Structures are given as C-alpha cells and as structure tokens.
Amino acid sequence: MLKIRLRRMGRKKRPFYRVVVSEASSPRDGRFVEEIGIYDPLTEPETVRIDVERALYWLEHGAQPTETARSLLRKAGVLKAYHERRKARKAEVRGTQG
C-alpha cells in the first residue's frame, strides 16, 4: 500500500519536510517512490509547494495521504481537483451507459 507522507529533513530544531510517496512499510525517512512537494513550517507564511499533477496521479492510483499530508494537499488545492476529476469521471460513465 502506498502512502503520501512527510519526510523530515533539515538540522536539529530547524526542520523542513518533503512530501513523498512511499510504501507504508518503509520507515519515515527511509526509501520512497517519488518526491511530490515540500513543506517548510518555519518560513512566514509557511511554504507549501506541491506538484499537483503528480499528486493527482498518485491519488488516482490508490495512494492514501496521512492526516498531515492530507491537510497540505487541501491547502494546495489538490484534493478539490481530485474530487472534481472523480465527479466528472462518474458523470461521464453514467452518460455512456444510457
């Protein structure tokens, strides 16, 4: 199972995070499949940069975001785009069955 989660980087007491797609069984800062963004909570305002297309790709292929990653994806507008795509796809399927 794939997870979208944060990977801690930086030095002691100065963390920043990379948003990565990784196997659920791999350690927090261990191996990952792909890096899809960054999050820096120490800047003012906090920095959130997510590659929207790659995040959508992984969500569509079953990757489950952790609670914190989900809130970052929501801030970046990824979850809204994901739900709109799903709604459009369902409407498309309903239209072709008739």
pLDDT at 77: 94
pLDDT at 98: 56
- Evaluate if residue 94 carries a pLDDT over 90: no
- Evaluate if residue 16 carries a pLDDT over 60: yes
Task: Give the C-alpha distances (Å, rounded to integers) separating 90 from 8, 70, 97.
Answer: 37, 23, 11
For residue 66, give both structure tokens: 């952790």
**Which of these ranges, 7-16, 19-28, 89-98, has the smallest mean pLDDT?**
89-98
pLDDT at 7: 95
For residue 55, give both structure tokens: 């995040």
pLDDT at 93: 84
Amino acid at 29: D
Whether the CB-CB separation of 69 and 48 falls below 8 Å is answered with: no
Residues 22-78 have pLDDT tens digits of: 999 998 888 899 999 999 999 999 999 999 999 999 999 999 999 999 999 999 999
Give domain limits for the chain: 2-97
Place of tokens 């980087």: 9
Amino acid at 71: S
> Backbone phi, then psi, for 68, in 5-degree steps?
-70, -45
Please state which of the four CATH numbers 3.30.1320.10, 3.40.50.720, 3.30.200.20, 3.40.50.300 is assigned to the domain occupying 2-97: 3.30.1320.10
